[in-house]
Every structure is written in structure tokens, then in C-alpha cells.
Chain A
Amino acid sequence: MDLPHHGYRASKQRGRGTPTGGESMLFDDTSASGMNTQGYYTPGYSMAGPQNDTQAGVSNLFADPMANAAVMYGSSLANQGKDMVNKEISRFMSVNKLKYFFAVDTKYVMKKLMILMFPYTHQDWEVRYHRDTPLTPRQDVNAPDLYIPTMAFITYILLAGMALGIQKRFSPEVLGLCASTALVWVIIEVLVMLLSLYLLTVHSDLSTFDLIAYSGYKYVGMIFTVLCGLLFGSDGYFVALAWSSCALMFFIVRSLKMKILTSLTSDSMSTSSSAKPQMRMYITMATALFQPVIIYWLTSHLVR
């Protein structure tokens, strides 16, 4: 499948590429095959050695043959570890599908943030396809991505820490608690969405990552709300809460309507479709109505 690879190759340095790219720059890839027979008796010792050496000097020609051997052993160990991690991770989720969600660029991020905050003027909500595969976010502004939710989540945590620090209520445990609470609410929401979509046999093409993306977009609204609450006090908080709730509800309803309500039902349309559109509308409306509730729940204690 060439399209996600194209997105990955051309994308910026974000995402999963950085650790493995850093490894191959740190360690010269001279993974000699003979070094693997040594076993793992002193892995810690030999890992500490080559890291100190290669960080001190860039050239890999050491006068000491022992250090050279240690560098080669360490690099082969790093490659082994990298392969093992890749194999384990690719058993749970396909990394290519994940790379599709991070193929963004600045123009897309700007436009998407504008749409999230002011969706009323956006005309065309259809996700465009290119020969049966959905387009990457950098080519289609309606495509969901995971970059904005991830960044918004981290910014929300930092902002929560700052808000608590302004009110002199800060401690490191509270920050971790805030982060894990927000994460757990995202997980709960995604699980409830998946369960309801499964129970009502809605055969949409919403994958788990799409749902994570759509439920992560509320963090942008939360950041805006908390900022207004900090800058303008309690009144500003409620105004910003109302604004971002309405914008987010509109956005979610328009986006999910395309995917859930017009998904392919099975052949017998007449008998089973009587209850279907209503239930699908219920799901969409429930998701939309859940957003302001959770925004209020997660941000009210930061602004009082």
C-alpha cells in the first residue's frame, strides 16, 4: 500500500520515527553477526560503554579494540531490541494505519483548528477517497488525525498544571491524577462508542483510531475554555464553555453523520431499517451531548 508510506516518508519528524531514527544515528549499523552468540550476561555494562563512547566522539574508529567490540555488540543488541519491539507492537496494532494518522502538515493543522472552533461555515464534510483508501490528512481536511488530539491532550495536562499552580494547589501527584483521569475518560468514551456501534450492527468504517481521534478533538475546546477561564475569570469561563461546546457538538454531529448514518446496511433494507436511522441518530446525538458534560467535568475544578 503505497499511500501511507508516502505520507510517512514525507511527513515531518513527529511520531514514531524519532526513537528508531535516533538509534541508527547513535550506533553505527555494523551489526556483526558473530556478536550475537555472546549471550546476555552483561548487557547493562556493554550498553553503558558504547553510549558513553559514541556520545563523546562521533567517529567510530577507536584505538582500543575492546571498545570497538563493545560498540558493535551494543549496536547489534539495539537492533535486536528494535526488531523485537516492532514485532510485538505490530501484533496489536498495524503501524501503517497509525502512520496514516500522523501524516499532517501545518496547513492542515491550521485549517482543522479553525474548523474545530468555528465549524459553521465549513461546507463540505465528506471524507474524500482515492481508489478505496481514505486520503491522508494533509490532502483532505476532513480526515481525522491523531496529531491534534495528542498534542491537545499534552497541552491540556500542562495547562492544568499551570492553572493549579496559579491557585497554589499544585503538587506533582495532582498532575498525574489529572492526566490519568482525562485518559481514562477518553478510554471509557471510546469503549462505549465501540460497544454501541457493535450492538446496533452499524457497519461503518470507523476504526478504533478514528474514534480515538474524534474523542480527542474535545481537548482543543478544553484548552480554549481553560485559557479563557484563567484570563477572564468565571464569566469568561462560562462563555468559552458555551462557545466551544456548541462548536464541538456541531462538529461531531456533522462528522459522524457522514460516517454512521450513511454507512452500508445489509441487503434487507425494508424490515430492519425502520429502527436503524433512529438508533444511529441517537448514537450521534448522545456522543455530541456527552462532549459538553465531559468538558465541564474536567475543567471546572481548574478555574474555580
Chain B
Amino acid sequence: VALRGRKVASMAFTLYSLIQTAILCTNAIAVLHEERFLSKIGSGVDHGVSGFGDDPGIKAQVLNLIRSVRIIMRVPLIIVNSASIVLLLLFG
């Protein structure tokens, strides 16, 4: 019975774990370094096909997504991270 009861909770997600995952992924995107990493991968696409009449490829879309996420989520991430640090310090 203990084994069967454990099966329910084996891959159980709570909403809290979803929020945690979202915060961690967004943090990972936000800490990517511009000079060392992104411009090396991104420079090939920027000077290449700029994709006006054509649909941009997957790499251009991914870089676009990363850039826009970094710009938009910079300030909210500061707030959310500070709040979660305080909450984790207080409530463990």
C-alpha cells in the first residue's frame, strides 16, 4: 500500500513547482552573456539573411525570442527574485 501510495506522488506537479521552473528558466535566459556567447552565435544571423520577405529561420527566431525575453523580463525578474529570496529566508 505504501508503494502504491508513492506512485501518485512520483511525478506530481504542483503549481508551485511550475512557478519555480518558470523562474529558473527565465533566470537562465537572463544571465546569458552578451559578448562572449550571444554575439558569437548571433552575428552570423544578423549579417546574413535579414528576413524581410522571407520567413526567418529557426535560429533567427530563437535569438529574437531570447533577446525579447531578456529585454522584457529584466525588471520583473529583479522583483521576483528578491521576493523569493526574502520568502525562502523567512520560511525555508
Contact = CB atoms under 8 A, between A and B. Distances in A.
A169 interface: yes
Given A198-B65, A199-B65, A304-B4, A177 B15 contact: no
B15 A180 contact: yes
Which DSSP category, helix, strand, loop or mixed, fits chain A's interface? helix
A142 B6 CA distance: 41
A203 to B, nearest CB: 8
Nearest to B17: A184
B54 interface: yes
Interface in A177-208: 177-178, 180-181, 183-185, 187-188, 198-201
Contacts of B79: none
A298 to B, nearest CB: 9
Interface stretch (A14-22, A36-44, A261-269): A261-269
A200 B13 CA distance: 29
A180 B55 contact: no
Interface string B57-92: 010011001000000000000000000000000000
Given A177-B14, A199-B65, A169 B54 contact: no
B8 A177 contact: yes
A13 to B, nearest CB: 29
Contacts of A183: 15
Given A178-B12, A184-B15, A267-B53, 7 more contacts: A174-B8, A184-B13, A184-B14, A187-B18, A200-B61, A265-B55, A301-B4
10 pairs of A and B residues whose beta carbons are closest in the complex: A184-B13, A201-B55, A301-B7, A177-B12, A181-B13, A199-B61, A181-B12, A184-B18, A180-B14, A180-B15
Interface of B: 1, 4-5, 7-9, 11-15, 17-18, 53-56, 58, 61-62, 65
